[in-house]
């Protein structure tokens, strides 16, 4: 039986819009942004040959959390028809109709804009790299419908912090950065394939 999606749903008794938005961005599941953050911070330290400075640390930590949260919003909108048939995802706010598609997209857009505001405090090279990074973030949820190994697209999305970190520190992306990005891509392929096994009974 399909779960109706209403654009005018109200939060259930005892739940505020804020709590639903926090569920939307997986605030209670920090593993997602940690998996994004560690490669980016590693790249920052390697690019700088040591501590890169508090400004860049703050930009990449906050930017990672914001963009992972924005990605969750886009993913839930794209997958809402599929998620209702999966036990793990059936009660997500967009899938269950507690948050409308427009609301979720608006939250994602605001988070991405704030992240871009942080990028603007860096340099031209980092700003330029932020556009393909955003493009891959937007493409990934829909790539799952046309790519036989969508984990590879996720791997690219989850690795974009590496070239951005080098660009922020050095103003360029050297060969070392591409090696790190390739290594991280294979790491993402491994853990996301294992994570997908959780839903194999619903496939």
- Of 103, 34, 112, 86, residue with least CA distance to 197: 86
**What is the average pLDDT across 30-42?**
90
Give the pLDDT confidence of 114-170 residue by residue, as tens digits: 999 999 999 999 999 999 999 998 888 888 777 777 788 888 998 999 999 999 999
pLDDT band at 203 (very low <50, low <70, confident <90, very high): very low
Give the pLDDT confidence of 77-109 residue by residue, as tens digits: 887 765 555 666 567 777 777 888 899 999 999
This prediction has a pTM of 0.82
> How many C-beta atoms surround the C-beta of residue 22 within 10 A?
14
Count of alpha carbons within 13 angstroms of residue 147, beta-carbon side: 12
Structural domains of the chain ordered from first start: 17-194 (1.10.357.140)
Q: Are 181 and 36 in contact (CB under 8 A)?
A: no
């Amino acid at each position: 039986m399909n779960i109706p999606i209403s654009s005018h749903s109200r939060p259930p008794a005892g739940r505020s819009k804020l709590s639903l938005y926090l569920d939307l961005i997986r605030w209670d599941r920090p593993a997602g942004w940690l998996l994004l953050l560690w490669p980016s911070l590693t790249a920052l330290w390697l690019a700088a040959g040591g501590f890169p400075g508090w400004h860049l640390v703050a930009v990449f930590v906050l930017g990672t959390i914001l963009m992972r949260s924005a990605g969750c919003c886009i993913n839930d909108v794209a997958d809402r028809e599929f998620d209702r048939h999966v036990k793990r995802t059936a009660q997500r706010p967009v899938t269950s109709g507690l948050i409308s598609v427009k609301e979720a997209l608006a939250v994602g857009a605001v988070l991405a804009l704030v992240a871009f505001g942080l990028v603007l405090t860096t340099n031209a090279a980092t700003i330029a790299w932020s556009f393909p990074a955003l493009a891959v973030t937007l493409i990934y949820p829909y790539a799952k419908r046309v790519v036989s190994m969508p984990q590879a697209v996720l791997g690219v999305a989850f690795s974009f912090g590496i070239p951005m970190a080098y660009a922020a520190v050095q103003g360029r992306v050297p060969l070392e950065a591409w090696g790190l990005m390739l290594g991280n891509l294979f790491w993402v392929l491994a853990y996301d394939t294992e994570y997908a096994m959780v839903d194999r009974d619903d496939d």
